């Protein structure tokens, strides 16, 4: 299953960009990153069996194990792509939220979108490592 991050804004050469690269290189699944301008520009069209996950302050605060299990179920059900959308500073509108298959939040605090991208990359590495039986993740 393709893990596709579609994010507003350019991360460029930055500490956050280095973190994203570090974690995405470790993911054992196909990964794609698409950067869109802060305003305007449309995400690539959704084709076939695709799930849409939005990072949103109103989203579910799932544990890493639950997130991994959901990705594993989607993969096992034949989902070809899971697309993770990271919005610009103004976030997403209600219509966009309604169209998503899942809304997730990294806690109740607001995070800069570059940090959110790095945190998502780490969670994708963590989820795929959990599913492959790698010892990276430890339950407390």
Tell me the pLDDT band of 140, cut-offs 50, 70 and 90. Answer: low
Are 116 and 106 a contacting pair, CB within 8 Å? yes
Give the neighbor-by-neighbor strand order of the sheet with 50-60: 31-36, 2-8, 81-86, 50-60, 102-104
Give the number of other CB atoms < 10 A from CB of residue 115: 13
Walk me through the domains of the chain, giving residue ranges and CATH numbers: 2-132 (3.40.1280.10)
Tell me the pLDDT band of 37, cut-offs 50, 70 and 90. Answer: confident
What does the pLDDT look like over 65-103, one tens digit per residue? 999 999 999 999 999 999 999 988 778 889 989 999 999
**pTM score:** 0.91
Average pLDDT over residues 59-64: 94
């Amino acid at each position: 299953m393709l893990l596709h991050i579609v994010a507003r804004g350019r991360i460029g050469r930055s500490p956050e960009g280095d973190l994203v690269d570090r974690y995405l290189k470790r993911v054992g699944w196909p990964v794609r990153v698409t950067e869109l301008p802060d305003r305007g520009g449309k995400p690539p069209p959704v084709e076939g069996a695709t799930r849409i996950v939005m990072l949103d302050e109103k989203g579910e605060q799932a544990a890493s194990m639950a997130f991994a299990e959901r990705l594993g179920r989607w993969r096992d059900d034949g989902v070809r792509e899971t697309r993770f959308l990271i919005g610009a500073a103004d976030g997403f509108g209600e219509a966009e939220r309604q169209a998503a298959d899942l809304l997730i939040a990294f806690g109740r605090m607001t995070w800069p979108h570059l940090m959110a991208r790095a945190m998502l990359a780490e969670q994708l590495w963590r989820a795929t490592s959990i599913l492959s039986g790698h010892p990276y993740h430890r339950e407390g």
